[in-house]
Structure 1
Amino acid sequence: MAASEENSALFPIFILTIMAIPLVPYTVMKLCRAASKKSKSIHCNCSECVRSGKYRKSIFKRISNFSTYSNLTLILLWAVMIFLVYYIKNMSREIQVFDPYAILGLEPGALDSEIKKNYRRLSIQYHPDKNPDPEANKYFVEFITKAYQALTDPISRENYEKYGHPDGRQGFQMGIALPQFLLDIDGASGGILLLWIVGICILLPLVIAVIYLSRSAKYTGNYVMHQTLSAYYYFMKPSLAPSKVMEVFIKAAEYMESPVRRTDDEPLHKLFMSVRSELNLDLKNIKQEQAKFWKQHPALVKTELLIQAQLTRKSADLPPTLLGDFRRVLELAPRLLEELMKVVLQSMRNIRNTVSVITSKDAGLVSLKDDSLKDDYINITYITCYIGQSRRDEVESFASLSLFVTFSNAVAYVSFCCHFPPISVSFHAMAVIPRTSQGLGWLRPATGVVELSQCIIQAVPLTARKATGGSTEGAPFLQLPHFSESVIKKIARKKVRTFEDFRDMTLQERAELLEQVAGFSSDKVTDVEMVLGMMPSVTVEVRCETEGEEGIQEGDVVTIQAWITLKRANGLVGALPHAPNFPFHKEENFWFLLADPVSNNVWFSQKVNFMDEASAIIAASKAIEDTMEGSGASVKETSAAVREAVQKVRSGSRLVMGKFPAPAEGNYNLTCYCLCDSWIGCDMKTNLKVKILKRTRAGSRGGLVTEEGPNAEDGIEEEEEDEEEYDDDYESEYSEDEEDKKDTKKKGPAANGKVHKKDSSSEGSGSDEE
C-alpha cells in the first residue's frame, strides 16, 4: 500500500507535465500573434472612423474581444496548472525522505552523547507524558523514536551511513503515476484502470479526431466550404459585370446556411423597397421582376438585400433581429471574395454533366455524355434517384461530404449506398479540367470581383461606378468623409472631373474648393486630407524574360519579375484602409494581374500585401538568391542583389515573381494591373508589349534581331505612343451585362523582357474613361 501511495503522489506531476507540453508553446504562439497584430493596427483617425467605434479601446470592448472560447479555455488550463504547481509544492513538504539526523536536529556524523542529549530534549517536548497533543504523540512515535533507534543501533547506523536507509540497500522500484483508487485492484474499482486506459488513450483521441475530420472535411485550407467552391466553379463565366458577380458571390454555402425566420419577412420587404433601384430590375416589367426576385431561395434573397444595405449605407435602419445576420454576412465577405477571385484566376473551368447510373447491391454501370471525362475529378452537386417511374428525394449526396472524386468512385459510392432493388440514379456533377489549352484565367470577372470588394468595404453602391454629372466618377469620392452626391456635383462644376484631378490639387487648392464650393468646415477639410493621406499610390516595374536566352519563343517558360512600390502622403507603408461603414478590421490587399484585355485572358496573377514586412523580406531574398544562383552569378553579386532587394522592401516595395508558358507566336499587347480590394480609385495599370518568336531548332535563337524584329535592348517603346490604343481596355463593367464584342488582336513591333514605364493610377475601378 505504501508503494501505491507513493505512486499516487506522483500523479499531479504527471498531469502537470502532460498539460504543459502543448499549453506552453501554444500560449507563446498566441502571444506572438497578438503582439504582431497589435503592431499592425495602423488605422485612420478621421472623425467618421472615430465615431464608428471600430478601433475604440473601451473596457467592455476589450473584455468582449478577449472573452473568446479559446482565450477562456486557455485561462482555465493555466489556472489548473497553477493549482497543480501549488499542490505539488505543498505535497513535497509532506513527503520527505527519512533523515534521522535532521529529525533529531543533528549534523551528520554526530557523537552518541549528542544524539542522546537531543533525544532527551525532544522527549521533554513531544513525549505523551509531557505533551497531551495527539499530533505531538504521533510525531514522537513515528519520527523521533525511529530516528533515535536508527542512530543508536550500530547496524542500522552503519546501513544508513552506507546506503542512506536504516534497513540497508533498497531495491529499484517502478510505479504508475495514477491516483490510488485506480490502482485498488482488490476492490470494486479494479476495472476502472482498464476503462481509464481505453477511454483516455483510445476513445477520447478517436472521438476528437472524428469530430475534427467531420468538420474540417467541409472546409478548405482557407476556411471556405467545398460546396462554396463547387458553386463558384459552376456559375462562373468568362464575362461578368459586377452585378452578375454579385449573383455568383451570394451563392456561397456559408450564406445558404443562414437561417431565414418568419419575423424577417417584414423588415426584408421594407429593405427591398429602399434598395430596389440597386437590384438591376427591369423597370418596364417591374412586377414580373419583383416576383422573380422573391422566388429565389430565401437565403439568397436575404443575403443580397443585406449586402445592398451595406452598399447603400442603410444598415442603421435594420432591426435588431437582422443585425446579427448582417454582421455575419460582412464578416465572411472578404474571405469569400478572395476565394472567388482565386476561382476566377485559376487555370480551371467547369463542365456540367449528367451521369446516369444503374445500380444494384453488387455492381454499378456508368454512362457518360463524354467518356473522356470518366477518370476526371468531379464534385457532385446533387443526386436524383428514381425507383421505377417515381422520383425519390431521399438521396445520399456527395455535396454533403464535400469530396472531389472520380466518376468511377462516384458510381461505386452510389452502388454501395443503395440497398434496395435496382434503381436509376442521375446526378449532376462538376468536372474540374483546364479552361483553355493555355490554362488562363479570366480578366473581366476578376476585375468585377475586385470592384465588388471595393464597394462592400467602402459602402459605395455599384451604380455609383457609372459616370455621373460632368463625367465625374462618383464612386472614389463617396469613400471620402462627408462627401455625398450633391457635393460631387458641386465640385464637378469647377472642372474637377476625375478623382485624379482632385488628388493632384495642392492642399490650399483643395481647402478652398471644399470650403467655398462644398461648404465644408475646417474640421471636415482636415478629415478629407487625413483620408487622402491614407490612400495608397502604386507604381509597377515589370519585366518578362526567358532565363538564359535573348528572346522568348513559343513554348518557353517565361519568368516575370515585378516590383510594386506603394507610397502614401502620410509616409506609411502598411496601414488599414479608411472604412468607417465596414464593422470589421480589413487589411488592404493588391492583386497583380498580367492580362491580355483583348482575349480576356489572365496570364499570371499573384496577391500582394504590404502589412508583413518581415515575410516580404524573406520571400524577396529567397527569390533573388535563387534567380542569381540559377544564372551563375558569383556569391558577391548574389549578396549585393539580395541587399538591394531587402532595401527595396524596407522602402515600401514588394517583389512579385512567377513563371508562365509562352503562347503561340505573335506580338501581344499586354496590360499589368495592380488592383486594390479595399480602396476605390487606387488601381494601377501599365502596358507591356511582348513578342513571341516561332519555335526554331534547339540552340538557334539568333533570328530575333535581324529578321523578326528589334532586339530586346533596342525595342523600348514609350507607353504614351499607344496610349489611345488602350483607352478602353479596362472599363468598369457595371453597365455592360452583355459580353464584349470580339476584337482582333493588335499586333506590332515590340520588345521582349523589358520594363515598361509605370502608368498612372486608373480612376474608379481602374477605368480609363476620358
Structure 2
Amino acid sequence: MLQYDNNAFYFVALSFITIYLVPSWIHILTRAQSVLFAKDEAIGAISRTSAEKQKAEELKKESKGLATLKRSKPFMINFWITIFFTIIFMWLAVSVSTDGEVNSFDPFHILQIDSASDAKAIKKAFRSLSLKYHPDKNPGDRAAEAKFMMVSKAYEALTDAESRENWEKFGNPDGKQSLEVSIGLPNFLLETGNRNLVLMVYLIIMVGVIPFCVWTYYSDSSKFGEKDVMYDTYSWYHHVLSEHTLIKALPECLAGAAEFRKRNVPKSASDKQAIGELMAAVKTQMQKPKYNHPVCVKGNVLMHAHLLRASEKISDTQLNEDLKYMLRRSTALIDAMISVCQHQDSLQTATNCIEFGQLMTQAMWVKDSSLLQLPHFTEEEVKHCSIGKGKATSILEYREVPDDQKKGMANFTAEQKEDVSKYLKMLPDISVESKVFVDDDEDDKVYEGDLCTIRVIITRNNLEKGEKAGLIHAPRFPYPKQEAWWIIMGTKEGKIVHIEKVGNPNRIFSHEIKFLAPRVGTYEFDLYIKSNAYVGLDQEQKVTLTTLDNSVLPEYKIHPDDAELDDEPTLFEEILNANIEQDDSDSDDSDDESDGPAIAEKSDAEMKKERLKKARQQTDDDSDSDDDAEEVYTDK
C-alpha cells in the first residue's frame, strides 16, 4: 500500500534542494573569490602612467571587495535565497539523522499491538481501529480513509495464511515486489484541517508565482536585441540617425537611448537645479537641442560635461553615478548606432559614430587637438606645441619630433615627462596593406560575377614580435577598453560595402572583405582603418578594382566521364528494365542456343543500349494503351 511518509519526504526534499544548493554555492564562492582575490590586470586596474593611477584605484574599489558583491542586486538575491534553503537543508538533515527510516509495512505497528499478540488481540485491535477510521464515520477525511485501508491490509496480513506468509518472506502481503514505494509527501497534507491551506498554497504557486516569474523573464528578455541593446533603442536610432547626421548631434542621440530613460528622469528640484547649472557651463559647446524631453536634456548635458572635461563641475553625487552608468553602456550603444547606419547604408554617418566613440573614450570634443590625449597635457601645452621651431599640430607629428625637441613639457616633472615618453611608445603605429584577388585563381584577374576578396593586412609597428596589444590608454574614461580597429570599405557615392570591428590583438593580423565582382569596368573604393578609441590615428586608402568581361574566358568543357553519366539510365528506367528482363527470361532461355554467338559478339555498351531502348519502348506502349482506353471511354 502506498502511504504518505514524512521520512520519505525528508529524503525527497533533500535531493531537490541539493540540486539548487550545489551549483548556487559554487557560483557564490567563485564570484567571491574572483572579487576578493582578482588580479589588477584581470579587471583592467593597471596604471602604466601616473595619469592612470586614479582610474586604477577607482576600478579596484568598484571591482574588488565585499562592497562590490553588495552592489550586485542579482547576486544578493541569489545569496539570501541560498542561505534560506541552506537552513532548510540543515533542518532536514537533522530530521533524517534522528528519524530517517522510511516507513515499511508492519501490520503490528499499524494495528498498534505487540508482535506477540494472539488472534483475539489482533481481531480486537482491528475492530477498534476500523470503527474509528471507517469512512462512514469520517466523511471526506482522506487521512482517515487511507488509515482504514492500511488497517484492513494489516489485519489481512495477520489472519490470512497466504498473506502472512508473503509478508514474512517478502515484507509485503501481496508477495514479492520489484520496488518498495512510498509517497514522499508529509502526512499533514492529508489532514482535513489543512485542506484549504494546502489548496491555497498550491494555487498561489501554480497560478501566481510561476506564471509571474515566467512573465517577468520573458518581458525583460524580449526587450533586448543584439549586443544586449534594447529594441526601443534601435527604434530611436532609426528615427534620429540619417545620412546627414553630424558628430555634434550624436550626444543627444546617445542620451535618448531606452537604457537611460528610467535612470535619467530628474527626481527632485535639486536634481533639476544641478542640471541647469551644469548646462550653463557647457551650453556654448552644445548644438541646439532638437528634443526637449527631460531625459534627453539631462543625458545630453552629462555627455557634454564628459566630452568637455568639465565633469569635475558636477557636484551632485547622483549625477556622477548617472554619468558613469552612461559611459559604461556607451561602447555597446555606439556600436548599435553603427549597425543602424550600416542598415541605412550611410557611410558618412557611420564614420561619424566611430569618431564620436573615439572622442567619448578620450574625453575630447570636435575642435580639440589630438595632442590632448597626451598625459598631463592641457590647452596651454597644446598651444605651446603648435608654434615655433619643431612645432607639431597632431599627435602623429609630435611622435616624430626628436625627444630633445619636444615642446609643451617645460613645466613638467621628471615623472610627467616619463609618462609622455611611455605613452608615445604604447600609442598604436600601424601600417596597412591591401590586396585584391579571387580564390583559386592564378592570373590575379577579376571577371564579372567572381567572388572577389580584398585582404587587409594591418601591422602594429610599435609592438615587438610576439607582443600583443593591450588596453587603451584613456585616464578619463572610467572603464577598461580593449584596442580594436574598424575596417570599412565604401563607394564614392557614400554607400557601405563592408564595415566590421576587429579586435585581434596580434602584432600582424589580416581581415578579408568578400563580395561579388560588379559589371565590367574600373571601380575605386574607399578603405578606412579607424581606431575604436584613439583620435588622429585613422588611415584611408583607395582600392582599385578592374572587372573584366567573363565572355573571354575559355569555354568550359565537360569531362568525358561526366558526359557518360548523362547516358546512364534513371532509377525508373532501371526498374522497368528489370521487369522486362524478368518477363523475357523464358524466351531468352529458349533462344540461347541460336542467338548465343550473336549476343556474345555484342559489347556491354550495346547490350545496355538495347535494354534501355526496350524500357523506353515499354513506357511508350503503356502510354499508348492509356490513350486508347481513354478514346474508348469517350466513345461510350
Distance change >3 Å, CA 39–CA 3, structure 1 → 2? same
Kept in 2, the 8 Å contact 1:14–1:177? The answer is no
2:326 match = 329
1:141 match = none
Pairwise CA distance, 1:482? 1.0
1:449 to 343, 347, 353: 353
Distance change >3 Å, CA 198–CA 654, structure 1 → 2? farther
1:534 to 395, 417, 426: 426
Pairwise CA distance, 1:313? 1.0
Pairwise CA distance, 1:309? 0.4
Kept in 1, the 8 Å contact 2:308–2:364? The answer is yes
2:439 to 547, 551, 558: 547
2:500 match = 606
2:145 match = none
2:67 to 64, 76, 81: 64
Pairwise CA distance, 1:522? 0.7
Distance change >3 Å, CA 221–CA 200, structure 1 → 2? farther
User: In 2, Cα distance between the equivalents of 1:690 and 1:306?
Assistant: 46
1:496 matched to 2:391? The reply is yes
1:251 matched to 2:256? The reply is yes
Pairwise CA distance, 1:163? 6.7
**Pairs within 5 Å for 1:279-298:** 279-280=286-287, 293=289, 296-298=292-294
1:300 match = 296
Distance change >3 Å, CA 511–CA 177, structure 1 → 2? farther
User: In 2, Cα distance between the equivalents of 1:495 and 1:586?
Assistant: 33
Secondary structure of residue in 1 paired with 2:481: coil
Pairwise CA distance, 1:460? 0.9
**Deviation string for 1:441-495 (max 9, x for gaps)?**
332112211111111111112221xxxxxxxxx1x21011111122122222232
1:639 match = none
Secondary structure of residue in 1 paired with 2:381: helix
Secondary structure of residue in 1 paired with 2:367: helix
1:242 to 237, 241, 247: 247
Residue identity in the other structure for 1:579: A
Distance change >3 Å, CA 87–CA 197, structure 1 → 2? same
**Structure 2 unpaired stretches of 5+:** 103-164, 557-636
Secondary structure of residue in 2 paired with 1:483: coil
Distance change >3 Å, CA 535–CA 168, structure 1 → 2? same
Kept in 2, the 8 Å contact 1:259–1:299? The answer is yes
1:557 match = 451
Kept in 2, the 8 Å contact 1:341–1:449? The answer is yes
**Deviation string for 1:283-335 (max 9, x for gaps)?**
xxxxxxxxxx4973332222221111001111111131522332233222222
Distance change >3 Å, CA 11–CA 692, structure 1 → 2? same
**Deviation string for 1:587-616 (max 9, x for gaps)?**
3332111223x32222111111146xxxxx
1:681 match = 536
**Deviation string for 1:670-710 (max 9, x for gaps)?**
23322112111232334322212345378669xxxxxxxxx
User: In 2, Cα distance between the equivalents of 1:266 and 1:97?
Assistant: 70
Pairwise CA distance, 1:259? 0.5
Residue identity in the other structure for 1:454: Q
Distance change >3 Å, CA 53–CA 209, structure 1 → 2? same
2:305 to 309, 313, 323: 309
**Structure 1 unpaired stretches of 5+:** 99-157, 282-292, 350-440, 465-473, 612-650, 702-770
1:579 match = 474
User: In 2, Cα distance between the equivalents of 1:61 and 1:37?
Assistant: 9
Pairwise CA distance, 1:524? 0.5
Distance change >3 Å, CA 307–CA 187, structure 1 → 2? same
Pairwise CA distance, 1:47? 1.6
Query: For structure 1, which segment, 306-315 or 81-90, has the greater mean C-alpha deviation from structure 2 after superposition?
Result: 81-90
Secondary structure of residue in 2 paired with 1:222: helix
1:342 matched to 2:349? The reply is no
Kept in 2, the 8 Å contact 1:344–1:445? The answer is yes
Kept in 2, the 8 Å contact 1:595–1:603? The answer is yes
User: In 1, Cα distance between the equivalents of 2:516 and 2:29?
Assistant: 44
Distance change >3 Å, CA 496–CA 541, structure 1 → 2? same
Residue identity in the other structure for 2:17: L
Distance change >3 Å, CA 295–CA 186, structure 1 → 2? closer
1:207 match = 212
1:93 matched to 2:97? The reply is yes
**Deviation string for 1:707-738 (max 9, x for gaps)?**
xxxxxxxxxxxxxxxxxxxxxxxxxxxxxxxx
Aligned residues: 482
**Pairs within 5 Å for 1:370-519:** 441-464=345-368, 474=369, 476-492=370-386, 493-497=388-392, 498-505=394-401, 509-510=402-403, 513-514=406-407, 518-519=410-411
Residue identity in the other structure for 1:299: V
**Deviation string for 1:4-42 (max 9, x for gaps)?**
122222243233244158647866996999879963637
Secondary structure of residue in 1 paired with 2:375: coil
1:46 match = 49
Pairwise CA distance, 1:338? 0.9
Pairwise CA distance, 1:75? 3.1
User: In 1, Cα distance between the equivalents of 2:500 and 2:432?
Assistant: 14
TM-score normalised by structure 2 residue count = 0.66
User: In 2, Cα distance between the equivalents of 1:210 and 1:684?
Assistant: 49
1:277 match = 284
1:374 match = none
Query: For structure 1, which segment, 680-689 or 82-91, has the greater mean C-alpha deviation from structure 2 after superposition?
Result: 82-91
1:691 to 542, 546, 557: 546
User: In 1, Cα distance between the equivalents of 2:99 and 2:201?
Assistant: 27
1:134 match = none
Kept in 1, the 8 Å contact 2:517–2:547? The answer is yes
Distance change >3 Å, CA 682–CA 265, structure 1 → 2? same
Kept in 2, the 8 Å contact 1:595–1:602? The answer is yes
| Larger relative contact order, structure 1 or 2 (CA cutoff 8 Å, min sep 6) | 1
In proportion to residue count, which structure has more strand? 1
Residue identity in the other structure for 1:187: T
Distance change >3 Å, CA 180–CA 657, structure 1 → 2? farther
In proportion to residue count, which structure has more helix? 2
1:130 match = none
2:516 match = 661
Pairwise CA distance, 1:658? 4.4
Distance change >3 Å, CA 299–CA 462, structure 1 → 2? same
Kept in 1, the 8 Å contact 2:361–2:477? The answer is yes
**Deviation string for 1:30-70 (max 9, x for gaps)?**
69998799636374432221124555535996223222122
User: In 2, Cα distance between the equivalents of 1:82 and 1:187?
Assistant: 31
TM-score normalised by structure 1 residue count = 0.55
Secondary structure of residue in 2 paired with 1:594: strand
Identity of aligned residues (%): 22
**Deviation string for 1:127-152 (max 9, x for gaps)?**
xxxxxxxxxxxxxxxxxxxxxxxxxx
Residue identity in the other structure for 2:265: P
Distance change >3 Å, CA 546–CA 494, structure 1 → 2? same
User: In 2, Cα distance between the equivalents of 1:700 and 1:455?
Assistant: 56
User: In 2, Cα distance between the equivalents of 1:27 and 1:61?
Assistant: 15
Kept in 2, the 8 Å contact 1:595–1:671? The answer is yes
1:520 match = 412
2:526 match = 671
Could you say what the CA RMSD is over the residues aligned between the two structures, in angstroms? 3.9
User: In 1, Cα distance between the equivalents of 2:265 and 2:168?
Assistant: 78
Query: For structure 1, which segment, 209-218 or 265-274, has the greater mean C-alpha deviation from structure 2 after superposition?
Result: 265-274
Secondary structure of residue in 2 paired with 1:41: coil
Secondary structure of residue in 2 paired with 1:39: coil
Kept in 2, the 8 Å contact 1:594–1:673? The answer is yes
Give the structure with higher Rg (CA). Answer: 2
**Pairs within 5 Å for 1:114-193:** 172-181=179-188, 183=189, 185-190=190-195
User: In 2, Cα distance between the equivalents of 1:75 and 1:479?
Assistant: 43
